[in-house]
Chain A
Amino acid sequence: MDRMDEKLDALWVEYRDACPAPDPSPEFMPRLWQQIDKRRIGNARVFRRLAQICVMATAALTLLIGAVVIPRIQAEAFFSKSYADELAAEHVNADFTDFLTAGDLR
């Protein structure tokens, strides 16, 4: 196995020599900056679209709240009367004699 290990180590060395570092082409840097700009523009476009969607959603929600939800809440007017008024309205035809004991009637 040692001989094979040696052979493999020799192969790695030979392989390194067989794959020398290539010289970068003259277009390497211009191409790289082109790609960077392309991705930058792409990212900016995505953010702009997201921002537009957020603004539109906010505007739609504001309109919905203003046109539907608030008028409905105001129409319901839960607390327009006092508690006493509300009780009186509830027992306007009530017969309170039930509450009185026989002794009280005498």
Chain B
Amino acid sequence: MLVDFELIERARSGDDSAFNQVVQAYRKRILGTISRLISRPEDVEDVGQEVFLRLYFSLDQLRTAEVFEPWLYRLTVNAAYDYLRRQKRRPESRMADLTEQQVLFADAAAGSKVREEEERRTKIRELTQSLLGKVSEEDRVLLLMKEVEGRTLKELEQIYKVNENALKVRLFRARQRVLKALEQEEKTGGERGWGEKAAGGQQQS
């Protein structure tokens, strides 16, 4: 917990300054999670605003301060899921924004090393996104929460309010689909260079 229970209780009872402190404590962490769930830097803050807005108007429904974090992650997951669904309905704007994003990165990266590193990151983001495109938005968010955010099954159980076994099954199926897509990707030779480097790096560590 980044804040103490008393502060959450105060925010819950309508103390705006306490709510302000809670947001300030959690916003960076939540923005990081959103950034990995939606992987579009320009929209991260908007989704973050939506999360804390929902938090403000639903805080009185929180049973106890102890379940605050799963509650906040639940709101984050729902906001990211809503965003991804909206994006799915308008793919043309996504393409346009990506081009704009690439232009921005190209402008920002002055040195070639920085540019190279940014290109590599962009490549990884694109590869991951294309692999995650093989599963539904719900499974994509669930998979990222487990594999990238490092949430335990117990935590996910609290966030999703679904029993552990059902989560295990969903995670297993989603991972299998992503694995299959990665295998396909490797066969076509798209990201061979990255894959060998990454697998080698992990074996060394």
Contact = CB atoms under 8 A, between A and B. Distances in A.
B45 A24 contact: yes
B170 interface: no
A71 B195 CA distance: 89
Contacts of A9: 147, 202
Interface string A1-23: 10111111111111111111111
A29 interface: yes
Interface in B29-74: 29, 31-33, 35-36, 39, 41, 44-45, 48-49, 52-53, 56-57
A16 B33 CA distance: 9
B32 A21 contact: yes
Interface residues of B, number: 44
A36 B44 CA distance: 18
Q: Determine the interface band of chain A, counting residues with CB < 8 A from chain B.
A: 20 to 34
Contacts of A35: 49, 53
A60 to B, nearest CB: 34
Interface in A26-48: 28-29, 31-32, 35-36, 39
Contact of B57 (A10, A15, A16, A39): A39
A4 B179 contact: yes
B124 A15 contact: yes
A25 interface: yes
B127 A22 contact: no
A91 B155 CA distance: 87
A8 B199 CA distance: 9
Contacts of B131: 11
B29 A16 contact: no
B32 A4 contact: no
Interface string B132-148: 00000000000000011
B49 A31 contact: yes
Interface of B: 20, 23-24, 27-29, 31-33, 35-36, 39, 41, 44-45, 48-49, 52-53, 56-57, 120-122, 124-125, 127-128, 131, 147-148, 175, 178-179, 182-183, 186, 194-195, 198-199, 201-203
Interface of A: 1, 3-25, 28-29, 31-32, 35-36, 39
